Amino acid sequence: MTLVQSQIHSVSAHPVHSTVADAMDAAGPQVWYDMTVEVALSVMAAARAEHLLVCDEDGLCLGLVTQARLTAVRDSPGYTDRVRLDDLTDRSGPFLSPLASREEAEDAMPFERLGPVPVVDEHGSALGVLALSR
């Protein structure tokens, strides 16, 4: 005899996601860390994206830059055409694991950090992006 376990699922207007992997969006455009701000803004416009995942030469995720951040840097008084994405990314994260629960992800984020966060595998390769809001 085979046991079958059934579960009752409630239907709601807001789906419940159990892990970050269930709630994340596709990674979107991934670019190299040595790209200039101007080129990154052009890539972003062509892709109609609001953010870019910044990767190193091995494809490991170094961070994420948003259109707002790139525009602010470009419009700042100290801007030169030599500013690269590597100058703008925080290699220490935050990064999320696809196995973390959404609640764990929100609890781990600094309160002032809202918006998209890279989701990476155990090797540091980008799998997607989780948009956090409070």
**63 phi, psi to nearest 5 deg:** 160, -165
Contact 132, 28 (CB under 8 A): no
pLDDT in tens, 3-25: 333 333 334 444 555 888 888 88
Q: Is 8 within the bounds of a domain?
A: no
pLDDT in tens, 73-126: 999 998 999 999 998 887 767 788 899 887 888 777 765 556 788 999 999 999
Q: Is 27 within the bounds of a domain?
A: yes
* Distance of alpha carbon 24 from alpha carbon 48, whole angstroms: 19
Note down the domain range covering 34: 20-132
The CATH number of residue 28's host domain is: 3.10.580.10
The answer to whether the predicted template modeling score (pTM) of the entire model surpasses 0.85 is no
The tally of domains found in the chain comes to: 1
* Distance of alpha carbon 126 from alpha carbon 65, whole angstroms: 14
